[in-house]
Amino acid sequence: MDFLTKVYETFMTKRILGSIITLIIAVILVSIIKSIISKILITGRTQFEIKRRTTIISLFQNIVKWIIYAIAILIILDFWGVDTRSLIASLGIFGAVLGLALQDTVKDFIGGISLILENYLQVGDTVTYNNFTGEVIELGLRTTKIEGFNGEVLVVANRNINTIINASQKKAHLLLEIDTAYEEKVAKVEKVLKGVIADAIKDEIILEDSAYLGVNELSSSSVKYLINIHCHQNNRYIVKRVMLERIKLAYEKNNIKIPYNQIEVHHGQDI
């Protein structure tokens, strides 16, 4: 009985009991906070977004876990008589020095987390950075990679991400001027162009608010008809080519002429 009593008394001391309770509370807190973070942040429009957010959330959860465990260890050390104030002061100085040395890396890291969680950028978006326009091909924790239309790749530090213009967050507006011969009737041309637009909307090539705007210019050799095409930013170049092809085919079908420059050559005969 004396042995059991001594074991009980030893176990119930502040050092032992306090350490055990602190560890239990730390484990419970880690579990609760990880669950909350997971429920709040795992959202996204695509499987790719959800996958990337899951990776970031896992990182957040690990950071929170080690912070809680570090605090728990300091409390336990205090129970055992360790001067935690001096220890914290030493760690604070070390952390300040390390923070100064790695401040740009930390900014990149925070910027990467922020842009992924806020959906400011996504892979496939068309963006412009310092007159460089291209498509986002990779989102990392430190850098973002943008591929230009000629194949070159620009790497941007995430701390500079606020200077990037994201064109994919709004729809594109394409103003197309269609040169048409003067002898063609305006009513006929307008009917054909409106039909091309209506068919493209029906086929989901362009957005519903696309419209025929009317005669835009009477140039020296043609009448310029103007149409306003609305589409998604990422598809604007493809849409432009498709619409021009459809207009050309519609003109051919309806015998509408598109003027072009012609050269007359005379072989010495009198004009």
Q: How many residues does the chain have?
A: 271
Report the alpha-carbon distance of residue 99 to residue 109 in Å, rounded: 13
Report the alpha-carbon distance of residue 177 to residue 252 in Å, rounded: 17
Nearest by Cα to 109 from 70, 161, 49? 161
Convert the pLDDT of each residue in 81-134 to its tens digit.
777 677 666 666 655 655 555 566 666 666 666 666 666 677 777 788 888 888
pLDDT of residue 17: 74
Token pair for 179:
């040169």
Does domain 170-253 sit in CATH 3.30.70.100? yes
pLDDT of residue 260: 75
Report the alpha-carbon distance of residue 232 to residue 169 in Å, rounded: 9
For the chain, the structural domain boundaries read 2-101, 120-168, 170-253
E runs forming strands in 86-243: 126-129, 132-139, 143-148, 153-157, 165-166, 171-180, 211-218, 223-232
Are the beta carbons of 212 and 150 closer than 8 angstroms?
no
pLDDT of residue 65: 81
Report the alpha-carbon distance of residue 186 to residue 93 in Å, rounded: 79
Terminal-to-terminal C-alpha distance of the chain: 133
pLDDT of residue 91: 63
Residue keyed to tokens 């032992």: 16
Are the beta carbons of 237 and 251 closer than 8 angstroms?
no
Convert the pLDDT of each residue in 79-88 to its tens digit.
777 776 776 6
pLDDT of residue 158: 77
- CATH number, domain 120-168, options 3.40.50.1980, 3.40.50.720, 2.60.120.280, 2.30.30.60: 2.30.30.60
pLDDT of residue 253: 93
How buried is residue 251: exposed, middle or buried, by Cβ count under 10 Å (0-12/13-18/19+)? buried
Token pair for 32:
């609760």
pLDDT of residue 188: 94
What fold, for 2-101? Helix Hairpins (1.10.287)
pLDDT of residue 42: 55
pLDDT of residue 166: 76
Spans in the chain with pLDDT lower than 70: 1-15, 39-59, 84, 87-120, 141, 162, 168-170, 234, 261-271
